[in-house]
Protein backbone atom coordinates (compact mmCIF):
# COMPACT_ATOMS: atom_id res chain seq x y z
CA UNK A 1 0.00 0.00 0.00
CA UNK A 2 1.27 3.51 -0.83
CA UNK A 3 0.59 5.86 2.08
CA UNK A 4 0.89 9.64 1.98
CA UNK A 5 2.08 10.89 5.38
CA UNK A 6 1.61 14.63 5.77
CA UNK A 7 3.97 16.08 8.34
CA UNK A 8 6.05 12.93 7.93
CA UNK A 9 9.30 14.72 8.75
CA UNK A 10 8.06 15.80 12.17
CA UNK A 11 8.56 14.24 15.57
CA UNK A 12 5.61 11.85 15.50
CA UNK A 13 5.39 11.68 11.71
CA UNK A 14 8.95 10.44 11.30
CA UNK A 15 8.32 7.55 13.70
CA UNK A 16 5.12 6.70 11.81
CA UNK A 17 7.06 6.64 8.54
CA UNK A 18 9.54 4.20 10.10
CA UNK A 19 6.71 1.96 11.33
CA UNK A 20 4.96 1.96 7.96
CA UNK A 21 8.18 1.06 6.12
CA UNK A 22 8.88 -1.74 8.60
CA UNK A 23 5.38 -3.09 7.92
CA UNK A 24 6.13 -3.30 4.19
CA UNK A 25 4.26 -0.21 2.97
CA UNK A 26 5.49 2.35 0.46
CA UNK A 27 5.59 5.85 1.94
CA UNK A 28 5.35 9.31 0.43
CA UNK A 29 5.98 12.29 2.71
CA UNK A 30 4.66 15.82 2.29
CA UNK A 31 6.05 18.29 4.83
CA UNK A 32 6.37 22.09 4.86
CA UNK A 33 9.27 22.00 7.38
CA UNK A 34 7.77 24.81 9.46
CA UNK A 35 10.51 26.63 11.41
CA UNK A 36 8.82 26.02 14.78
CA UNK A 37 9.55 22.30 14.39
CA UNK A 38 12.51 22.21 11.97
CA UNK A 39 15.60 24.35 12.26
CA UNK A 40 17.45 22.17 9.77
CA UNK A 41 16.31 19.77 7.06
CA UNK A 42 15.70 16.30 8.53
CA UNK A 43 17.20 13.12 7.07
CA UNK A 44 14.98 11.30 4.59
CA UNK A 45 14.73 7.52 5.09
CA UNK A 46 15.85 5.44 2.14
CA UNK A 47 13.04 4.63 -0.27
CA UNK A 48 10.71 7.44 0.88
CA UNK A 49 9.20 9.65 -1.82
CA UNK A 50 9.92 13.08 -0.34
CA UNK A 51 7.86 16.21 -1.15
CA UNK A 52 8.81 19.55 0.42
CA UNK A 53 5.50 21.39 0.25
CA UNK A 54 2.75 22.85 2.41
CA UNK A 55 -0.49 20.93 2.87
CA UNK A 56 -2.28 24.22 2.12
CA UNK A 57 -0.90 24.11 -1.43
CA UNK A 58 -3.66 22.46 -3.44
CA UNK A 59 -1.48 21.67 -6.45
CA UNK A 60 1.21 20.05 -4.32
CA UNK A 61 -1.41 18.03 -2.44
CA UNK A 62 -3.06 16.84 -5.66
CA UNK A 63 0.31 15.72 -6.98
CA UNK A 64 1.19 13.94 -3.72
CA UNK A 65 -2.13 12.08 -3.75
CA UNK A 66 -1.58 10.51 -7.17
CA UNK A 67 -1.38 6.76 -6.78
CA UNK A 68 -1.83 6.85 -2.99
CA UNK A 69 -4.01 4.26 -1.28
CA UNK A 70 -4.38 6.04 2.06
CA UNK A 71 -3.44 9.22 3.89
CA UNK A 72 -2.01 9.57 7.39
CA UNK A 73 -2.53 13.25 8.25
CA UNK A 74 -0.01 14.41 10.84
CA UNK A 75 0.76 17.91 9.52
CA UNK A 76 -0.26 20.52 12.07
CA UNK A 77 0.87 23.38 14.21
CA UNK A 78 1.00 21.81 17.67
CA UNK A 79 1.13 22.84 21.31
CA UNK A 80 -0.68 25.55 23.23
CA UNK A 81 1.46 28.28 21.64
CA UNK A 82 2.42 31.55 23.25
CA UNK A 83 -0.75 33.68 23.26
CA UNK A 84 -3.89 34.36 21.27
CA UNK A 85 -1.93 36.10 18.52
CA UNK A 86 -1.03 32.57 17.35
CA UNK A 87 -4.70 31.86 16.53
CA UNK A 88 -4.61 32.74 12.80
CA UNK A 89 -1.58 30.51 12.28
CA UNK A 90 -3.19 27.59 14.12
CA UNK A 91 -6.42 27.88 12.15
CA UNK A 92 -4.58 28.25 8.85
CA UNK A 93 -2.16 25.36 9.37
CA UNK A 94 -4.56 22.95 11.00
CA UNK A 95 -8.02 23.65 9.62
CA UNK A 96 -7.37 25.23 6.23
CA UNK A 97 -4.62 22.67 5.65
CA UNK A 98 -6.99 19.82 6.47
CA UNK A 99 -9.70 21.28 4.23
CA UNK A 100 -7.29 21.53 1.29
CA UNK A 101 -6.15 17.94 1.85
CA UNK A 102 -9.71 16.61 2.07
CA UNK A 103 -10.73 18.48 -1.07
CA UNK A 104 -7.79 16.86 -2.86
CA UNK A 105 -8.77 13.44 -1.53
CA UNK A 106 -12.35 13.93 -2.71
CA UNK A 107 -11.06 14.60 -6.21
CA UNK A 108 -8.42 11.89 -6.27
CA UNK A 109 -10.46 8.92 -5.11
CA UNK A 110 -8.36 8.26 -1.97
CA UNK A 111 -10.87 7.07 0.61
CA UNK A 112 -8.80 6.00 3.64
CA UNK A 113 -7.68 8.54 6.26
CA UNK A 114 -5.93 8.24 9.60
CA UNK A 115 -6.11 11.63 11.32
CA UNK A 116 -3.88 12.86 14.12
CA UNK A 117 -6.21 14.37 16.70
CA UNK A 118 -5.60 15.07 20.39
CA UNK A 119 -6.98 14.55 23.86
CA UNK A 120 -7.26 18.36 24.08
CA UNK A 121 -10.65 18.14 22.32
CA UNK A 122 -12.15 17.03 25.66
CA UNK A 123 -10.99 20.10 27.59
CA UNK A 124 -11.02 19.16 31.23
CA UNK A 125 -11.20 15.43 31.85
CA UNK A 126 -13.96 13.48 33.52
CA UNK A 127 -14.80 14.33 37.13
CA UNK A 128 -16.99 12.69 39.74
CA UNK A 129 -18.70 14.50 42.63
CA UNK A 130 -19.79 12.46 45.65
CA UNK A 131 -23.12 14.29 45.63
CA UNK A 132 -23.79 15.06 41.97
CA UNK A 133 -22.15 12.19 40.09
CA UNK A 134 -20.36 12.97 36.81
CA UNK A 135 -20.00 16.72 36.39
CA UNK A 136 -18.21 19.13 34.05
CA UNK A 137 -16.23 21.89 35.78
CA UNK A 138 -16.72 25.47 34.69
CA UNK A 139 -13.98 27.68 33.23
CA UNK A 140 -10.89 28.17 35.36
CA UNK A 141 -10.86 31.51 37.14
CA UNK A 142 -7.81 33.74 37.35
CA UNK A 143 -8.57 34.57 40.99
CA UNK A 144 -8.53 30.88 41.94
CA UNK A 145 -5.31 30.19 40.06
CA UNK A 146 -3.60 33.24 41.53
CA UNK A 147 -4.54 31.97 44.98
CA UNK A 148 -3.07 28.55 44.21
CA UNK A 149 -6.46 26.82 44.03
CA UNK A 150 -5.80 24.62 41.02
CA UNK A 151 -8.29 21.78 41.54
CA UNK A 152 -11.66 22.45 39.86
CA UNK A 153 -14.58 22.35 42.30
CA UNK A 154 -18.00 20.85 41.67
CA UNK A 155 -20.05 23.48 39.83
CA UNK A 156 -23.09 22.45 41.85
CA UNK A 157 -21.86 22.31 45.44
CA UNK A 158 -18.27 23.55 45.34
CA UNK A 159 -16.93 20.33 46.87
CA UNK A 160 -13.70 18.64 45.65
CA UNK A 161 -13.93 16.35 42.64
CA UNK A 162 -12.31 13.01 41.82
CA UNK A 163 -10.67 12.74 38.39
CA UNK A 164 -11.67 9.75 36.24
CA UNK A 165 -10.94 8.36 32.77
CA UNK A 166 -12.53 9.95 29.71
CA UNK A 167 -14.03 7.74 27.00
CA UNK A 168 -14.40 8.71 23.36
CA UNK A 169 -18.13 9.42 23.62
CA UNK A 170 -17.60 12.18 26.19
CA UNK A 171 -18.71 15.66 25.06
CA UNK A 172 -16.01 17.75 23.42
CA UNK A 173 -15.11 20.97 25.23
CA UNK A 174 -11.99 22.57 23.65
CA UNK A 175 -10.53 25.22 25.95
CA UNK A 176 -7.86 26.86 23.81
CA UNK A 177 -7.30 27.71 20.16
CA UNK A 178 -5.19 24.62 19.42
CA UNK A 179 -7.88 22.38 20.91
CA UNK A 180 -10.57 24.08 18.85
CA UNK A 181 -8.60 23.50 15.64
CA UNK A 182 -8.11 19.80 16.42
CA UNK A 183 -11.83 19.32 16.97
CA UNK A 184 -12.53 21.19 13.74
CA UNK A 185 -10.18 18.78 11.94
CA UNK A 186 -12.26 15.85 13.21
CA UNK A 187 -15.49 17.47 12.05
CA UNK A 188 -14.05 18.28 8.63
CA UNK A 189 -12.82 14.72 8.22
CA UNK A 190 -16.18 13.26 9.25
CA UNK A 191 -17.96 15.54 6.77
CA UNK A 192 -15.57 14.41 4.01
CA UNK A 193 -16.19 10.75 4.87
CA UNK A 194 -19.97 11.15 4.64
CA UNK A 195 -19.81 13.10 1.38
CA UNK A 196 -17.15 10.99 -0.35
CA UNK A 197 -17.84 7.55 1.07
CA UNK A 198 -14.52 7.58 2.90
CA UNK A 199 -13.37 6.07 6.16
CA UNK A 200 -11.67 7.98 9.00
CA UNK A 201 -9.90 6.90 12.17
CA UNK A 202 -9.19 9.93 14.39
CA UNK A 203 -6.46 9.17 16.91
CA UNK A 204 -6.66 11.36 20.00
CA UNK A 205 -3.07 11.38 21.20
CA UNK A 206 -2.24 11.93 24.83
CA UNK A 207 1.08 13.43 25.95
CA UNK A 208 3.50 11.98 23.42
CA UNK A 209 7.21 11.88 24.22
CA UNK A 210 10.34 10.15 22.97
CA UNK A 211 13.47 10.47 20.84
CA UNK A 212 13.50 13.24 18.27
CA UNK A 213 11.28 15.77 20.03
CA UNK A 214 12.04 19.39 19.06
CA UNK A 215 13.90 21.32 21.72
CA UNK A 216 13.76 24.90 22.98
CA UNK A 217 10.39 25.81 21.46
CA UNK A 218 7.17 27.01 23.14
CA UNK A 219 5.23 24.79 20.73
CA UNK A 220 6.69 21.53 22.04
CA UNK A 221 5.07 19.33 24.65
CA UNK A 222 5.90 19.54 28.33
CA UNK A 223 8.24 16.53 28.16
CA UNK A 224 10.35 18.32 25.57
CA UNK A 225 10.41 21.53 27.60
CA UNK A 226 11.68 19.65 30.66
CA UNK A 227 14.24 17.69 28.64
CA UNK A 228 15.45 20.90 26.95
CA UNK A 229 15.92 22.54 30.34
CA UNK A 230 17.98 19.60 31.59
CA UNK A 231 20.15 19.75 28.46
CA UNK A 232 20.89 23.41 29.31
CA UNK A 233 21.82 22.42 32.85
CA UNK A 234 18.65 23.97 34.26
CA UNK A 235 15.98 22.58 36.54
CA UNK A 236 12.66 21.77 34.86
CA UNK A 237 10.06 24.39 35.79
CA UNK A 238 6.77 22.75 36.76
CA UNK A 239 3.63 24.88 36.57
CA UNK A 240 0.87 24.99 39.18
CA UNK A 241 1.66 22.54 42.00
CA UNK A 242 2.79 19.72 39.72
CA UNK A 243 -0.33 17.68 40.49
CA UNK A 244 -1.81 17.82 36.97
CA UNK A 245 -2.65 14.26 35.88
CA UNK A 246 -1.64 13.16 32.40
CA UNK A 247 -0.98 10.01 30.38
CA UNK A 248 2.51 10.05 28.85
CA UNK A 249 2.63 7.73 25.84
CA UNK A 250 5.81 6.80 23.96
CA UNK A 251 6.09 7.90 20.35
CA UNK A 252 6.79 4.38 19.09
CA UNK A 253 3.53 3.21 20.66
CA UNK A 254 1.77 6.11 18.90
CA UNK A 255 3.33 5.04 15.59
CA UNK A 256 2.06 1.50 16.18
CA UNK A 257 -1.41 2.91 16.88
CA UNK A 258 -1.36 4.61 13.47
CA UNK A 259 -0.43 1.32 11.85
CA UNK A 260 -3.26 -0.47 13.69
CA UNK A 261 -5.72 2.27 12.68
CA UNK A 262 -4.64 2.03 9.04
CA UNK A 263 -5.18 -1.73 9.07
CA UNK A 264 -8.55 -1.27 10.76
CA UNK A 265 -10.04 1.26 8.33
CA UNK A 266 -11.63 -1.40 6.16
CA UNK A 267 -13.64 -2.49 9.19
CA UNK A 268 -15.50 0.83 9.19
CA UNK A 269 -18.55 1.35 6.99
CA UNK A 270 -18.32 3.66 3.99
CA UNK A 271 -18.84 7.20 5.20
CA UNK A 272 -17.88 6.18 8.73
CA UNK A 273 -15.54 7.83 11.21
CA UNK A 274 -14.31 6.52 14.54
CA UNK A 275 -12.33 8.22 17.31
CA UNK A 276 -9.75 6.39 19.41
CA UNK A 277 -7.89 7.55 22.51
CA UNK A 278 -4.18 6.75 22.35
CA UNK A 279 -2.63 6.57 25.82
CA UNK A 280 -0.35 4.30 27.76
CA UNK A 281 -2.82 3.50 30.51
CA UNK A 282 -0.22 4.60 33.11
CA UNK A 283 -1.32 7.79 34.85
CA UNK A 284 1.26 10.18 36.29
CA UNK A 285 1.33 13.77 37.41
CA UNK A 286 3.40 16.35 35.59
CA UNK A 287 5.51 16.65 38.73
CA UNK A 288 6.18 12.91 38.76
CA UNK A 289 7.22 13.00 35.11
CA UNK A 290 9.59 15.92 35.70
CA UNK A 291 11.14 14.20 38.71
CA UNK A 292 11.53 10.89 36.88
CA UNK A 293 13.10 12.53 33.85
CA UNK A 294 15.48 14.64 35.95
CA UNK A 295 16.59 11.60 37.95
CA UNK A 296 17.19 9.58 34.77
CA UNK A 297 19.11 12.46 33.21
CA UNK A 298 21.17 13.12 36.34
CA UNK A 299 20.24 16.78 36.34
CA UNK A 300 18.82 19.24 38.86
CA UNK A 301 15.54 18.42 40.55
CA UNK A 302 12.41 20.14 39.22
CA UNK A 303 11.24 23.47 40.62
CA UNK A 304 7.50 23.81 41.26
CA UNK A 305 6.70 27.42 40.35
CA UNK A 306 2.99 27.92 40.99
CA UNK A 307 2.79 29.63 37.58
CA UNK A 308 -0.12 28.76 35.30
CA UNK A 309 -1.54 29.21 31.81
CA UNK A 310 -5.25 29.94 31.68
CA UNK A 311 -5.73 27.72 28.61
CA UNK A 312 -4.31 24.65 30.34
CA UNK A 313 -6.55 22.01 31.90
CA UNK A 314 -6.03 20.47 35.30
CA UNK A 315 -6.50 16.76 34.64
CA UNK A 316 -7.01 14.87 31.40
CA UNK A 317 -6.56 11.11 31.30
CA UNK A 318 -8.53 8.86 29.04
CA UNK A 319 -9.31 5.22 28.52
CA UNK A 320 -7.68 3.61 25.46
CA UNK A 321 -9.79 0.47 25.82
CA UNK A 322 -11.58 1.04 22.50
CA UNK A 323 -8.30 1.04 20.57
CA UNK A 324 -7.13 -2.08 22.39
CA UNK A 325 -10.38 -3.99 21.96
CA UNK A 326 -11.28 -3.05 18.38
CA UNK A 327 -7.86 -2.79 16.73
CA UNK A 328 -5.71 -5.05 18.90
CA UNK A 329 -3.26 -2.30 19.82
CA UNK A 330 -1.29 -2.48 23.05
CA UNK A 331 1.40 -0.07 24.28
CA UNK A 332 4.82 -1.64 24.66
CA UNK A 333 6.95 1.02 26.38
CA UNK A 334 6.56 1.33 30.16
CA UNK A 335 6.82 4.81 31.70
CA UNK A 336 10.05 4.18 33.62
CA UNK A 337 11.75 2.60 30.62
CA UNK A 338 10.57 5.34 28.30
CA UNK A 339 11.80 8.12 30.57
CA UNK A 340 15.19 6.44 30.93
CA UNK A 341 15.52 6.25 27.15
CA UNK A 342 14.20 9.79 26.65
CA UNK A 343 16.70 11.20 29.14
CA UNK A 344 19.59 10.04 26.94
CA UNK A 345 17.95 10.45 23.52
CA UNK A 346 18.94 13.29 21.20
CA UNK A 347 16.45 16.08 20.55
CA UNK A 348 16.05 17.78 17.21
CA UNK A 349 16.72 21.49 16.78
CA UNK A 350 13.48 23.38 17.20
Cα gap 347→350, rounded to integer Å = 9
CA geometry: angle 236, 241, 247, nearest 5 deg: 75
Out of 90, 122, 127, 178, the active site residue is 178
Cα gap 44→42, rounded to integer Å = 6
Angle between helical axes of 222-231 and 335-344 (0-180°, round to 10): 40
The residues, any chain, with a CB within 8 Å of residue 318's CB and separated by 6 or more, are 119, 122, 125, 165, 166, 167, 168, 204, 206, 247, 277, 279
178 among known catalytic residues: yes
The residues, any chain, with a CB within 8 Å of residue 109's CB and separated by 6 or more, are none
Q: What's the start-to-end Cα distance of the chain, in Å?
A: 32
CA geometry: angle 203, 205, 206, nearest 5 deg: 150
Backbone φ/ψ region at 133: left (φ over 0), alpha (ψ -120 to 50), beta: left
Strand bridging mode 272-278 / 199-205 = parallel
Q: Are 235 and 300 in contact (CB under 8 A)?
A: yes
Active site residues: 178
Amino acid sequence: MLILVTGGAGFIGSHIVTAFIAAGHEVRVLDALLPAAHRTAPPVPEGVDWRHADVRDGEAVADALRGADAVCHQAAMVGLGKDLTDAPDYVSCNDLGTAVLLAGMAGSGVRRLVLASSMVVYGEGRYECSRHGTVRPGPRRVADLEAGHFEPPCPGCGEPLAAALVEEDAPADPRNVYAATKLAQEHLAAAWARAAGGRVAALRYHNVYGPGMPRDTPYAGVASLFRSALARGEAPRVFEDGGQRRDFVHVRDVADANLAALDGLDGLPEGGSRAYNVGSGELHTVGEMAAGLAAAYGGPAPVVTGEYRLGDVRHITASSQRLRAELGWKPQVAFADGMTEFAAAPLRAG
